Structure formats: structure tokens, C-alpha cells
Amino acid sequence: MMLLERGEINQTKLISYCGLNLRKHKEILEELEKKKLIEKDIVPWGNKTITNYKISSKGLDFCKLILEPYENMFPRVKKGEEKNNVN
């Protein structure tokens, strides 16, 4: 859902936005990529690389078929509440 909402983002931001730990949860990204729900792009940046992810067409279909109806039935934020409301 995060990739659907934000488009292509790098691995660090994706893990952070989802509240995960890269060492503990990298397998999740690998599994999603293996199932072709997301696509990975490795970009050279100086002497390092940046790993970007984006949702694939199969992942988009999955979101529309499974995740969107689930989110409508069980929203993370109730109607009338703001997503960034911390109070």
C-alpha cells in the first residue's frame, strides 16, 4: 500500500515508513519481489548504490482486488479523523 500511495521510493524510506527494521524484515521485500508484486531498481550513487522499489502491475492488481476492499471494510483511520493526528 505504501508503494501505491507514494510511487517509487528507496529501500530506507520504504522500511522506515512501514515501521520495519531492514535487518529483520528484508525478507519481506525479497518475497514481494519474488512474487512479482514489487519491482526493484538498483541505482549507482557515487561509490554506493541506492535500491528503489515500485509497485508492479501485478502488485497494483493485487491492491485493487484484495487490499482496497479490505481497507474500505477496516480503515486504519476512521472517517473524519486526520491520518497525522497524534492526539
* Res 4: pLDDT: 82
Q: What is the mean pLDDT of residues 52-65?
A: 92
pLDDT at 36: 96
Count CB atoms within 10 A of the CB of residue 58.
13
Output the CA–CA distances (angstroms, integers) from residue 62 to 42, 46, 67, 85, in the order listed. 24, 36, 7, 29
Q: State the Cα–Cα distance between residues 83 and 66, nearest whole angstrom.
A: 22
Q: What is the mean pLDDT of residues 51-70?
A: 90
According to the CATH classification, is domain 2-73 in 3.40.50.300? no
Whole-number pLDDT of residue 79: 61
- Average pLDDT estimate for 30-45: 94
Burial of 11 (0-12, 13-18, 19+ CB in 10 A): middle
Backbone angles phi, psi at 6, to 5 degrees: -105, -10
pTM of the full predicted structure?
A: 0.72
Taking the domains of the chain in order of start, what are their residue ranges? 2-73
Q: 87 falls in which pLDDT band (50, 70, 90)? A: very low
